[in-house]
Amino acid sequence: MSEIEGRAFSLLTQDGGARRGRLHLAHGDVETPCFMPVGTSASVKGLTPAELVEARTQIVLANTYHLWLRPGLETLEAAGGLHRFMAWERPILTDSGGFQVFSLECRRRLDDGGVTFASHLDGTEHRFTAENVVEFQQRIGSDVAMVLDVCVKLPAPREQLEEAVRLTSAWARRSAAAPSRAETVLFAIVQGGLDPELRERSARELVELDFPGYAIGGLSVGETREEMHECARATAALLPDAKPRYLMGVGTVRDLVAAIDCGIDLFDSVYPTRCGRNGRAMTHAGELNVFNARYVHDPSPLDPLCDCSTCTTYSRGYLAHCFRAKEMLGPRLLSYHNVYFVNGLMCEARAAIERGKWTAFRLAPGSATAI
């Protein structure tokens, strides 16, 4: 396939549904498919920026809701923006905070203008609108900013999903009309739950606004894995070829591989670092729990097929000891390995797509990528 160029994205080639692309951002290009480790409050838990670079991270995600509350816009601007504040020179995508606000339930009031919510930190009242959420992300220097949307936990009645689509589209129109900053590209978020008609309506209304990129939101929020994969594939097919596609909130190997097969380019999740903090390692042979008694005296590396510094330096027995002794090093070493592993999976996926070997890679017998 010949290259298709968008304002912020180049689709370089495809193999079946899988896409190989390049996202062009103010702080550098991002090769896709790409996984984004989550640094909710300007920090990927347990890892330094240098370690993230060593682990082959291209772009990280931070969250508007949390940054708005702490440290706040004044502090971030005084520091010279989010990149300087967190000492990260590569691209940053900031979520709008919509998911966090709407998960507050009894702490928020929703209306056509936006949402009023009480901080989970101290109960103070705050107001998000389509315009001020975009402005905040631009002022802190985000490379990719997400529009404010309404995310609904599944299963949900159709009336609730219809209202979420209506508000998400209305807020997207206002976001698109808000003052823009050339260095920040704005992504809209498709909603609609598992309803094909509502997904199609949401995608159509957002595509008409010609955003630089589109996210698939409202999944991994209570539905089955099969339902998520089916909906992600159907929704991706509704989005323009020349624009990047971002599936929000998935991070297991199985879900990532399935999503790439659906034609999606970007992903984020706390899964690799959360697993790392809890003793779970993502390996080429599947997940491994270092709390299992069998690893206490195991001298072998965590993953013999991995060349990260955790696997080339430490044994499973040592990692098991660190967790049992509640040493901080254990969660850090596993988090580093898991991020390295997922980023390596993305490297392998890109290479397989380029070689026209995606299906063989996806279905390799005994591989952690098999779905």
59-79 residue pLDDT tens: 999 999 999 999 999 999 999
The answer to whether residue 265 is catalytic is no
The catalytically annotated residue of 15, 95, 261, 303 is 95
In the block, residue with structure tokens 């107001």: 127
Question: Above 70 in pLDDT, residue 2?
Answer: no
The whole-model pTM stands at: 0.96
Residue 135, burial from CB neighbour count under 10 angstroms (0-12, 13-18, 19+): middle
For residue 100, what pLDDT is reported?
84
The answer to whether residue 112 is catalytic is no
The catalytically annotated residue of 15, 143, 268, 303 is 268
Query: How large is the average pLDDT for residues 285-293?
Result: 97
For residue 371, what pLDDT is reported?
43
Helix (H) and strand (E) counts in the chain = 15, 17
Angle at 351 between CA 145 and CA 203, to 5 degrees: 35
Class of domain 32-269: alpha beta
pLDDT in tens, 94-146: 999 888 877 777 788 899 999 999 999 999 999 999 999 999 999 999 999 99
Cβ contacts of 229 within 8 Å, gap of 6 or more? 255, 258, 259, 262
What mean pLDDT is reported for the chain? Answer: 95
Residues in a beta bridge with 94: 62, 145
Q: Could you tell me the two tokens for 313?
A: 């330096």
Q: Could you tell me the two tokens for 144?
A: 């990719």
Contact 60, 90 (CB under 8 A): yes
For residue 365, what pLDDT is reported?
64
pLDDT in tens, 17-41: 999 999 999 999 999 999 999 999 9
Output the 3-class SS for 70-103: CCCHHHHHHCCCHHHHHCCCCCEEEECCHHHHHC
Domain spans, the chain: 32-269, 271-359
Of 131, 124, 165, the residue nearest 116 (C-alpha): 124
